[in-house]
Structure 1
Amino acid sequence: MTRLIVFLSVLTGFILILVLYTFKTFPVSNDKFDLKKTETTYNTHAAKVLEVTAPKEVEAAGEVVEVEYAPVVDLNTPQLVAGNKIFGQCIACHGKGGEGKASQKAPHIGGQYDWYIEKQLTDMKAGARINVAMNTILKGLSPQDMKDVAAYVTKLPWSKEKYLAAQQPAKK
């Protein structure tokens, strides 16, 4: 009986080592994903973001005027209305405000850049980025639908309440 246990232990160890070695040397490839192209795209977008977010020196105008909140963007454009309609399918996982749900493993997407959302949707639909949960939803979306929902998701967190809350100093 002891010999059998030793034999099975050695056999199991040998198989485990063989599997781990094979796993380590197994080639990893995804023909639909091009790292150089992705890095170039990322660097281009990162430069644009840096250009927009870089601090700019402005001279003080003298008198400070208190301005009432008003949306800067017209939220009733045809693209945003279509995006709102499409986003109805996304609420179950990503939440009404795009805040994401940990229980669904759905990320926070509200306020994300539209080009980023559109790129992720395009990559998931093309198979370059694998996301099984999104496959059924993406099958029915056209490229224009993806642009519309990306534009809508970009505007999600900027309701008047959220804008005013963001302006309050952080409590320590």
Structure 2
Amino acid sequence: MKKWLMMALVLAAATAQAKQDSSQYCLVCHGSNAASNPTVKGPNLTILPAWYIKEQLLGFQKGWRSGGKGDIHGHEMLSVAKIMKPKQIEDAIAFIGKQPTKSAPVKLLKADISHGKSLYQSCAGCHGASGEGMAAVKAPPLAGQSDWYILKQLQAYKSGERGTASGDQNGAIMRQSAMMLGSDKDMQDVSAFIASLPAQKPKG
């Protein structure tokens, strides 16, 4: 099946489920237990606190996370978020919060984790020494997230696909941090290290 057709079917299924059952439609793209689905680039949701999930859904609705020109999956998420009503958002967040916290099951990057650990020290001030996140500075948990997803987001920040929208102050801060990573290899290494950290039950 051609990739564009598969994506269209996934989006159609997600849209249909969003209208019928706002507490479970996320699983179409994020896996049966919401712990990621690399096939359609759905990240791990079980590690994320309610405040961050809500913030990102609203970010999609505002166009802060609409995705770049070639970001098919970002545009899919934008389309789904745009049809969600406030009650559907709250129901989806509550449903995700009931799922067991798990580390993303698949690690795809071949990288130097020890080098990634040293690079992560500049991230720990906001995301915590163990990747647990800090709500006070709007920094989400990272521990247990998919390595490929972290890499994708770092690349998006560095290229300007994320963190450049008007009003997205937290995104702008993250973009500055991503710019400090000198190469794709650095981003791969730090992403692999973060993915090696055990998932922690989200707070808030």
TM-score, length of structure 1 as denominator length: 0.50
Q: Which entry has the higher C-alpha Rg, 1 or 2?
A: 1
